[in-house]
Every structure is written in C-alpha cells, then in structure tokens.
Chains A and B, each alone.
Chain A
Amino acid sequence: MKMVVTEMEFKNIRKLSLLKISFSNSNGNVYKNSFIMMGNGTGKTTALTLIRGLFDGTAETWNSDKIRSFKPQEGEADKGEFSIVTKFDERIYKYFLKLDYSNGTAKISCTTAVHGGHETSRRFPDSVKDLFTKEFVRRFVFDGEQAPKALDNESNEAEEAIKYLYRLDAVDEIIKMNERILRQIQDSEDGAAGTDQSVSNLRSRKSKVDKNITRLEERIQEINSLIDAETIEMGRIEAQVKEIDKKFEVLNNEKTAVIETRASIRGEMNECISKIVSNIKSPYLVNNVLCERMKTLGENMTRLKLPKTISKDFFKELAEETTCICGRDIRNEEKVAILENAERYLGSDQQSVLNNIKSNLIGCEYNDTMYTLFESLDDLDVKAKKAEDNYADIEDKLTKAGGEEAERLRNDLKAINEHIGELKGEKKSIESKDDTDPNLNEDNNLHHAKKESGRLENEIAKATRTNEALKKKKIIEYLLNKIRIESTVRLKTDIIAKTNAKLRNVIKDDVIEIETIDRFIHLKGKTGASEGQTLSIAYCFLGTMFEEAELEFPFIIDSPCGKMDFAKRRAVAEILPKMFNQMISFVMSAEVEQFADQFYTLDNTQFITVIAEANQEEVKVHTGIDYFDTYQRTHKEDE
C-alpha cells in the first residue's frame, strides 16, 4: 500500500489566515519532492505539530492552552481548521482537525468514500489502521531537531515498526484465521457428534490457559521494556554521577588540602602552647617590669643562712683545719671565732628553700621568648580561623556541586540495579523449560502453559473427532511462525547492512555503524554520536526501513539539516529522494544551501515560499525555484 499527501490547508491558525498547499502537479500526479520555505515564526513547527496531532490522534488530548495558542493574534476568529488530503493507493481520505478557540477543544474527523462518507473520527485502511501510533507517526513526520530522541527510544517501537511496515502482522492475522477455522470445524463436529459438557469444560480450561499464555508473553514484553528503560536510566544516572564526581573531585582535593592545613596549624598551636606553659614557670619572662620587681624582691630578702642540721658540722670541721677556704692560716684565735660565730650563719632547715628563691629572684633576666610565643600563638589563631572559614566554604560548595546529590544518585543506581535483577529473575522463571521445578506451573511459566494448552487442544480434537483438522492447523501455524521469526531476523540483518552502507557514504569523517536493532538502535563501539551524525543515522535508518517496506509512506520533515556540515547535507540530499515515494520538507532559508539547492535540477520537485505576516491578512505563496532561491539568499542571514 502506498500513502501520499496531496493537499494541506490551514484556516485561521496563527499567522496562517488561509493557506492551501497542493502537492500535486497540473496532471494530478504527486510531486516526489516538495520544499516549503517558511521564515522563522511563520508556522513551520506549527505545521508539523498539527500534522502529527492529526495523524496520531493526540490533537484531541491537547489542553485548552495549547489549542488556544494556535489562535491568530490578529482578528476575531474563534475557530481554526487544519486539514490534510491523503491517498492510500487510489483511495482518498481527508482528515480534519477543528480547533475551537472559545472552548479550547480540538476535534478530529475524516471523510472518505471508502467508508461511506463523513466519519466522526480518524479512519484508516484496515491494513494500516494499527500503525498510526504516536511513535510510528514520529518516524515519517520527522523533526530533524528531535533526531536523538527518535533514535533513543525506550519502547520496542523499532521492532513494532518493522512488524507493521513489512506487514508481518499479516502472518499473525493468518494464524488467528487458522484458529477460527479449526473452531468452526470443531463446533460443527461437536454438534454432529452430540458430545457433552466435557468438551465445553475442555474449551473453558484451554481458554483459561491461553489467557495465561497471553498474560505471560505480555509480561515478558513488559519486563524487556522495563529492563531497557531502566538500563537507559542507569546510563543517564551514571553519566550524571560521573559529571558530579568531576566537580566533586576538584572540590574534594581542595577540602583535603584545607583539612591538612588546619591540622598543621593545630599542631603548631599545640607546640606553641606547650612552650608557653613551660615558660610560664619563669614568670619574670612574662613582663620586663615584673622581672625587675622580682629582682628587687630577691635583693631585699635577708642575708642567706645555712640549714643548721646539715651545715653545723661544716664549721666544726673547718675550725679543725690549718688553712681556711679563703687560703689564710687558721690558728687558735680563728678557730675560736669560727666556732663562736657559726651560729650567726646557721638557720632553720627550710632555709635552703628561701635561699633558692632568693637566688632565683636575683638571677631573673628578662627576654622576649614569651612575647614571641604569644605573638606566634595569635598569628596561628588567625590562620586557624581562616582555615575553618575555608573548610566551611568548601563544604558549602560541595553541597552545591552535588556531593549529596551524587550519594543520592548512587543509591538510586543501586535500587535500579536490584530491580533489574528482580525483573531478570522473574523473566527467567517465566521462560524456564525446567519440568522438574515444583514451583513452576501453567499460571507462572510459559513452557508449562503451552504444554497444557497443547494437551487440551488434543483432548478437544479427540472429543470432537477433529484430530485431522487440528494437525492441519498445527502445520500451518508451525510454518507461519517459522516465516515470521526468520523474516524478522533477515529483515533486521538487511536493514542494519543497508543502513550501514548508507552511513559510510554520508559520514566519511568517522566510522559509525549500527550493531543491532534490539527494540532500539545500538551503535557499534559508541555510546553516542554528534548531532549531525545522529541526524544522518536517523535518515539512513528510517530511509532503509521505509525503502523496501510493504507499505510506502511520505516523509514529512521539519528542519532537515540541523547542524549538519555541508558534506553530510549533500550526501543526505542524494539519498533521501531514493528512499521515499514522497518527501515534504519544511525548510528555513539557511537550509537551502547545499541541501534544498541540490534538488534544483531534479524533475518532479516543487519549491514553495510562504510569506505570512501577523499584521497582513493575506498569506502570500510563491511557487518556483527563482523566488525560492532569491528569498533564501536575502533572508538566510536573518536566521
């Protein structure tokens, strides 16, 4: 099936009071490439939003503020309308999005001769009716600036897109039809054979087991999606932690340095205080005046005496000597004098203490040791306060830099990791084929449920005497399942190989390859790509997906070039027309050079320039290369 867009019409939507764009030539054939140049603020992004909202049906869920944001600033219009005419093969469907600015509501409707005229909601041909989801519409109504988001998909939409685009859902439809046919045969045989309640019981049991199978298969899908989403979330958090740790590392080094400085200052202060305490035993060092006073006190103390107990024998022995300690002779006269006068020099036994004090007082000599120590202590105290301030400052910076946040994120990572482990455990249990595990049964294990469903199916066939019909059904089912599985594997391999071949032509300054499509795209040996590269990957992947699909879609794109360099622009301009049956590209003036201008020489291409001013009622539409090219040259600097 081939889908093309033949017309779009805007009525009373922002600056577009009335704009109708036809994508068909005078012969009624659709242009392969259409370029619509709209200046900044004219309605390029609005157009893409409306197309998406209309095709995926989300417009009806927009809130009133969003709906009213489409209201023209000028004029009194309280209603707006956007419509698209499409053809699915030769069947025409016209879709309307009616915006009521007064009520803030949006309503989608559709007219088609196929279903007998006007429909109150969106209608699509049966073969594509399940396809127009938000994710899928985003694939062919593409915003270049959103390319990274389109590739970094958390759902299994890439696989779903392959299933529908390549019509593998047709295989599922045959399997269901096959089941219906068997049931019809069994119902007719059942009636003919007049079988009793037991068949009904068997069917009811099989139905219950089949529901279990569906539930368990859905749970596995859900677990896969959860694991993918949580793995992506883990990657995101890990990157955040890494980023925080970078800041944290610098600040942490500063913090360590401050702690070391603080400890060193404290050490010096302790040493200084020890010296002061030690020197305080010599109070004369505290102050010069005190020192002088202490000296005077010593000098004023009474004459020194010797302690009587230990010193009286000294005088006796001295009197017996022939020579005095002063060198003079000791005769009898001197001997008597020594013994008689000894008492004058002998005092109590505490005399030695007083002697010491006096001696110390007289020996007081002031110096600036204590003064210097106190000055040093003051300096160290200032330094210590400064170090404390620095420490508090760094602690504050650490908190602001996310030191605590990093800790919280690490806890989150741990929790996610544990949850992923639980999910993997649950999946393993559902998918286990261990017949000996007593905990597994048809309620919690796919293998057991399928075995029981098969057994009941055989019982029903036996009871209704339709064994042959059952065997035929199983043959068809087996072949179809094999076709679906092998096709999916082959298609993925083909898509990867063809996308990579395109990428080699588009990205020549780096090696970018898709490794797998496991629900979403994984790049080989890379965790990410630049903006230009990501856009190139998106084009090559989407182009390949659509190129050989059973269903052909238009490619409607806003901002096709983004931050692509000229070489990539030229390469993409060369491959895009080959990949889509119709391309509608909304471009800015700056995107013409080396992209839109590459299509100037191609046939079957139209160039439209739309000029809409808020203060002008009429929207001016110019067709043709000349106006398009001149306009882009004169306006590209504006953007």
Chain B
Amino acid sequence: MRNSTIEEVINNVIDESEQSPEFKAAFKQYIKNKFDDNADENDLKTVLSLISIQEETQI
C-alpha cells in the first residue's frame, strides 16, 4: 500500500488489540493486501481462525 498514514493506523490499532501475534501479523497483512486488491474471502477466514476466544474475551 502507498499511504503511510493508513498503514501506521492499521499497525497501531491491531497491535493494541489483545490478540495473538500470529493474528496481528496475519490481519495486518490481510488488510494491506485488500488495499492492493490482492485478498479474498478465504484469506479472511484464515485470519478469523487465528482469533482465540475465551469466555472473558472483551469485544
């Protein structure tokens, strides 16, 4: 992606979440790929599979 401001926001917002490093890396990459028209539904399903849900998970 070209715009560094958006890239920085994506990194910050995802890094601040309480998710695993694997999810963070995959989700960041997925969004950036989507900005470049290079991501599909299966990629998002993969990202979703990396979210670990616990009872006390805060949404």
What chain B residues lie within 8 Å of A180 (beta carbons)?
41
What chain B residues lie within 8 Å of A171 (beta carbons)?
31
Docked CA distance A88–B6 (Å): 22
Q: In the complex, what's the smallest C-beta–C-beta distance from A610 to chain B, in angstroms?
A: 35
* Total A-B contacts with CB atoms under 8 angstroms apart: 87
Q: Interface readout for A149-181 with B: 1 if CB under 8 Å, 0 if not?
A: 000000000000000001110110110011011
By secondary structure, the B interface counts as helix
Docked CA distance A173–B27 (Å): 14
Known: A127-B37, A474-B59, A476-B47. A549 touches B2 (CB 8 A): yes
Q: In the complex, what's the smallest C-beta–C-beta distance from B38 to chain A, in angstroms?
A: 10
Those of B1-52 within 8 Å (CB) of chain A: 1-6, 8-10, 12-14, 17, 19, 27, 30-31, 34-35, 37, 41, 44-45, 47-48, 51
Q: Interface readout for A461-505 with B: 1 if CB under 8 Å, 0 if not?
A: 000000011011111101110110011001100100000000000
Q: In the complex, what's the smallest C-beta–C-beta distance from B43 to chain A, in angstroms?
A: 10
Q: In the complex, what's the smallest C-beta–C-beta distance from B19 to chain A, in angstroms?
A: 7
**Is A415 in the interface zone, CB < 8 Å from B?**
no
The answer, among B5, B17, B35, B59, for a CB contact under 8 Å with A471, is: B59
CB-based contact B48/A472 at 8 Å = yes
Docked CA distance A469–B51 (Å): 10
Docked CA distance A178–B45 (Å): 8
**Is A639 in the interface zone, CB < 8 Å from B?**
no
Q: Interface readout for A246-259 with B: 1 if CB under 8 Å, 0 if not?
A: 00000000000000
B: number of interface residues (CB 8 Å): 29
CB-based contact B37/A1 at 8 Å = yes
Q: In the complex, what's the smallest C-beta–C-beta distance from A77 to chain B, in angstroms?
A: 42
Docked CA distance A159–B39 (Å): 25
CB nearest to A473 among chain B residues: B48
Docked CA distance A494–B6 (Å): 11
Known: A178-B44, A486-B13. A479 touches B3 (CB 8 A): no
What chain A residues lie within 8 Å of B31 (beta carbons)?
170-171, 174, 480, 483
CB-based contact A170/B51 at 8 Å = no
Docked CA distance A468–B57 (Å): 10
Interface residues on A, range: 35 or more
Docked CA distance A180–B48 (Å): 13
CB-based contact A550/B57 at 8 Å = no
Docked CA distance A486–B14 (Å): 12
Known: A479-B13, A483-B9. A181 touches B41 (CB 8 A): yes
What chain A residues lie within 8 Å of B53 (beta carbons)?
468, 471-472
CB-based contact B34/A174 at 8 Å = yes
CB-based contact A475/B34 at 8 Å = no
A-B contact pairs, 24 of them (CB 8 A): A127-B37, A166-B6, A178-B44, A181-B44, A468-B53, A469-B48, A471-B57, A473-B48, A475-B17, A475-B19, A475-B51, A475-B57, A475-B59, A476-B47, A476-B48, A476-B51, A479-B14, A480-B31, A483-B9, A490-B5, A491-B3, A494-B5, A548-B5, A550-B2
A1-B37, A167-B1, A548-B2 are known; give 17 further A-B pairs, CB within 8 A.
A126-B37, A174-B31, A174-B44, A181-B45, A471-B57, A472-B51, A475-B51, A476-B44, A476-B47, A476-B48, A478-B59, A479-B17, A483-B14, A487-B5, A487-B10, A491-B6, A548-B4
Nearest 5 Cβ contacts at the A-B interface:
A474-B59, A487-B9, A472-B51, A486-B9, A170-B34
